[in-house]
Chains A and B, each alone.
Chain A
Amino acid sequence: MDSRLKLSFAVTDAPQGTTALPIEIRDLTKRYGSVYALNSVDLDVHSGEFLTLLGPSGSGKTTLLMAIAGFNRPDSGSIRFGEDEVILTPPHKREVGMVFQSYALFPHMNVAENIGFPLKLRGISGAERATRVEEALETIQLSGFGARNIDQLSGGQRQRVALARAFVFGPRILLMDEPLSALDKKLRERMQIELKHLHRKLGVTTVYVTHDQREALTMSDRIAVINDGELVQLDTPEVIYNSPANAFVADFIGESTMLPLTRDDAGALSFRGQKVGDAGTDQSKDWTLVVRPERLFFAGAGAETDDQTIVLKGVMREAVFQGESEMALVAIDDDTEVAVRFGTGGRASPAGGNTGDQVSIGLDRTDVIIIPGGQAA
């Protein structure tokens, strides 16, 4: 790997902000045969924000991105960029930048020609084009790479060139379709940070597609969770993680153990006789307790449930060392295992014990996540 890539993008962190456009999607529907790839999706992307479309493969997130770019023709619906309805606008007139999963760099053009391509099409003359291409190369830390052929670039460099080509013509909306999925883990994590820097610098409204929940949590201002062609939840990473709307979101984002709750006539929700929450006015019959492994801890042998903490007793089944953390599986009965994650540093809570030991695991009441409905399939 080229050593200069270790630097992050040279950016001033003040957003320019004047160039961004909001996107307003209403009732967008796209069917393939009898399958709804998009089922009446409403979505507002705020001006200048970094919004991630997150979902499993086949969820419709890419279909939605392609519809915004204009590469597919929805069956019905409306897409507005600012004030302008673009649903009938052909892709070459939409003025949105896009980074493709495959990068889609033109192999018969060199780096500078690739980046200059959108400028050339806009009739920008040779000298000015060269200046702007050089500026873009500087932004992506590839100054002096203009004359290289595409096949002389590493994966990370191609990724940057694809990025430069997408923003060089000053689009007010930037779309990215899993742009980092072809990179190895280390480079991917560095590029995530750099993309965020670049987004802050350009201030452009960005819609980012990924199936990697970690990536979504790392990069986004807001996350739109998509499943089966429908928008399931739209919120900030913190809210999505801490208050998932349903079992699907809870299961898809982060690690979790789902425990079924019982509801009494007064609406109190309990797990094995221990009250964990209230149903309020919601009359749903099924409720689920979502437990994040890292929010659990090993309590002392004599610990009991009180106002602050819920304590579960169980038997240590397995403890797996994973480097930065250790994962323990605790059986609280014959067919329910709860995962507990704890750090491996000196100050981390000590391991619960050996396999087969009786252990108590605690959960602070402030970390309780309760969702209506049964467990995710």
Chain B
Amino acid sequence: MARADADGSRSGRHLHEAALKRQHAREQWSILSLVVPATIVIVLIILIPLSWLFYLSFLGDNGGFSLENYHKMTQYKSYYRIFVTTFQVSILTTLACIALGYPLAFFLAQLPPRWAGVFMLAVLLPFWTSLLVRTYAWLVLLQKRGILNEFAMQVGLWETPIKLVHNMTGTLIGMAHIMLPFLILPLYNAMRKIDKDMMHAAANLGANPINAFWRVYFPLSLPGMVAGSLIVFVLCLGFYVTPAVLGGGRVIMVSNQITAILENQFDWGAASALGVVLLVATTFTLYVAARLFRFDAALFGRD
């Protein structure tokens, strides 16, 4: 590079310098203006209500600052149980999604892209129908006199109807079904990016198919799996409809409890406090996962 002289340029003539600078600034501003609409929306529907929620949760009966809403949560065992249930349902749903989704994504990633698209449609189709419709469809399938029980009894798999719904089983079945695409999409994406030569190299170096999978393919697909699992897990933590319909009142998650408090007691403070705790728990989970797996690489395509 040529050495610049004292006033910063070699010739010292500064041709069009100010105009070029202005042009650069104009370009920067026009790019920046693209985020304005989104910023307004976020402030209106997320930041303001969230702040209000925080405010309410710290408001006591007498209208002053108080921790009584949070204090209540530590007093009653039912709150503890609700949080345990919430995490239990979320973890089990995530595990079920991994068990169902990993082999499926693997299968899709081996297909030629055009066929993968056809099969992917089968995964995504339910994704485009209403959540409520899908949840009630499971109710039809799983209930005591539902299609599954009737069929199983006819072919003699079991004699009396099995309780498949209005309990944890039903909730997990419904949740896993709804969450599956959220796991498959990032996982499939990560698997597609694995160079075919990687598996060739593993085999060439002496790895049998099982070794090649566990030592090379699985570690390379892990970022995609972690990203998908986190999306599923976090969505599960705040899920409402499916546990409400398929849990039959026996599976009470945090969101169900918030609804119940608002409907029965109209206690905005208590409901807000629950929401805040859930939000903190979710943020904490994401933070830990981000530290452990550096999953941002998988989510945002950073290398």
Given contacts A69-B200, A100-B201, 17 further A-B pairs with CB under 8 A are: A70-B203, A71-B200, A91-B203, A92-B202, A92-B203, A95-B206, A100-B197, A104-B200, A105-B201, A106-B202, A106-B216, A107-B220, A117-B207, A118-B206, A121-B205, A169-B205, A169-B206
User: Contact: B206 with A100, CB < 8 Å?
Assistant: no
Specify which chain A residues have a CB less than 8 angstroms from the CB of B209 in the assembled complex: 92
Q: Quick one: which of A97, A106, A121 contacts B198, CB cutoff 8 A?
A: A106
User: Contact: A96 with B204, CB < 8 Å?
Assistant: yes
30 contacts between A and B (CB under 8 A): A70-B203, A71-B203, A90-B203, A90-B208, A91-B203, A91-B204, A92-B202, A92-B203, A92-B206, A93-B206, A95-B206, A98-B200, A98-B204, A100-B200, A100-B201, A102-B195, A104-B197, A104-B200, A105-B201, A106-B198, A106-B201, A106-B202, A107-B220, A108-B220, A117-B202, A117-B215, A118-B206, A121-B211, A166-B204, A169-B206
Q: Quick one: which of A107, A117, A151 contacts B205, CB cutoff 8 A?
A: A117
A122 contacts chain B at the CB level, 8 A cutoff:
yes
A102 touching B197 in the complex, CB below 8 Å, given contacts A107-B220, A151-B303: yes
User: Contact: A92 with B201, CB < 8 Å?
Assistant: no
Which 5 pairs of residues, A with B, have the shortest CB-CB distance?
A104-B201, A104-B197, A118-B205, A91-B203, A121-B206
A165 contacts chain B at the CB level, 8 A cutoff:
yes
Q: Complex: how many Å from CA A166 to CA B202?
A: 11
B219 contacts chain A at the CB level, 8 A cutoff:
yes
Residue of B nearest to A177 (CB): B197
CB distance from A105 to the nearest CB of B (A): 8
Interface string of B216-260 (1 = CB under 8 A from A): 100110000000000000000000000000000000000000000
CB distance from A70 to the nearest CB of B (A): 8
B109 contacts chain A at the CB level, 8 A cutoff:
no
User: Contact: A97 with B195, CB < 8 Å?
Assistant: no
CB distance from B169 to the nearest CB of A (A): 37
B270 contacts chain A at the CB level, 8 A cutoff:
no
Interface string of B181-218 (1 = CB under 8 A from A): 00000000000000101101111111111011001100
User: Contact: A92 with B200, CB < 8 Å?
Assistant: no
Residue of A nearest to B200 (CB): A71
Q: What number of A residues sit within 8 Å (CB to CB) of B?
A: 28
Residue of A nearest to B220 (CB): A108
A92 touching B220 in the complex, CB below 8 Å, given contacts A104-B195, A106-B198: no
Residue of A nearest to B197 (CB): A104
Residue of B nearest to A106 (CB): B216
Specify which chain B residues have a CB less than 8 angstroms from the CB of A95 in the assembled complex: 206
Q: Complex: how many Å from CA A232 to CA B156?
A: 68
Specify which chain B residues have a CB less than 8 angstroms from the CB of A91 in the assembled complex: 200, 203-204
CB distance from B26 to the nearest CB of A (A): 37
Specify which chain B residues have a CB less than 8 angstroms from the CB of A165 in the assembled complex: 205
User: Contact: A108 with B205, CB < 8 Å?
Assistant: no
Q: Complex: how many Å from CA A117 to CA B219?
A: 14
Q: Among residues 62 to 88 in chain B, which have CB atoms less than 8 Å away from a CB atom of chain A?
A: none
Most buried by A among B197, B201, B203: B201
Q: Among residues 76 to 109 in chain A, which have CB atoms less than 8 Å away from a CB atom of chain B?
A: 90-98, 100-102, 104-108
CB distance from B282 to the nearest CB of A (A): 29
User: Contact: B197 with A92, CB < 8 Å?
Assistant: no
Specify which chain A residues have a CB less than 8 angstroms from the CB of B202 in the assembled complex: 92, 106, 117
Specify which chain A residues have a CB less than 8 angstroms from the CB of B303 in the assembled complex: 151
User: Contact: A108 with B219, CB < 8 Å?
Assistant: yes
Q: Complex: how many Å from CA A90 to CA B205?
A: 12
Specify which chain A residues have a CB less than 8 angstroms from the CB of B198 in the assembled complex: 104, 106
CB distance from A139 to the nearest CB of B (A): 17
Specify which chain A residues have a CB less than 8 angstroms from the CB of B216 in the assembled complex: 106
Q: Among residues 96 to 146 in chain A, which have CB atoms less than 8 Å away from a CB atom of chain B?
A: 96-98, 100-102, 104-108, 117-118, 121-122
User: Contact: B206 with A122, CB < 8 Å?
Assistant: yes
Q: Complex: how many Å from CA A166 to CA B220?
A: 21
Specify which chain A residues have a CB less than 8 angstroms from the CB of B206 in the assembled complex: 92-93, 95, 118, 121-122, 169
Specify which chain A residues have a CB less than 8 angstroms from the CB of B220 in the assembled complex: 106-108
Q: Complex: how many Å from CA A259 to CA B262?
A: 94
A92 touching B195 in the complex, CB below 8 Å, given contacts A71-B200, A121-B205, A151-B303: no
Specify which chain A residues have a CB less than 8 angstroms from the CB of B197 in the assembled complex: 100-102, 104
Specify which chain B residues have a CB less than 8 angstroms from the CB of A93 in the assembled complex: 206
CB distance from A77 to the nearest CB of B (A): 20
Residue of B nearest to A151 (CB): B303
Q: Complex: how many Å from CA A106 to CA B217?
A: 10
Q: Complex: how many Å from CA A101 to CA B211?
A: 23
Specify which chain A residues have a CB less than 8 angstroms from the CB of B195 in the assembled complex: 102, 104
A98 touching B208 in the complex, CB below 8 Å, given contacts A104-B195, A107-B220, A108-B219: no
Residue of B nearest to A92 (CB): B203
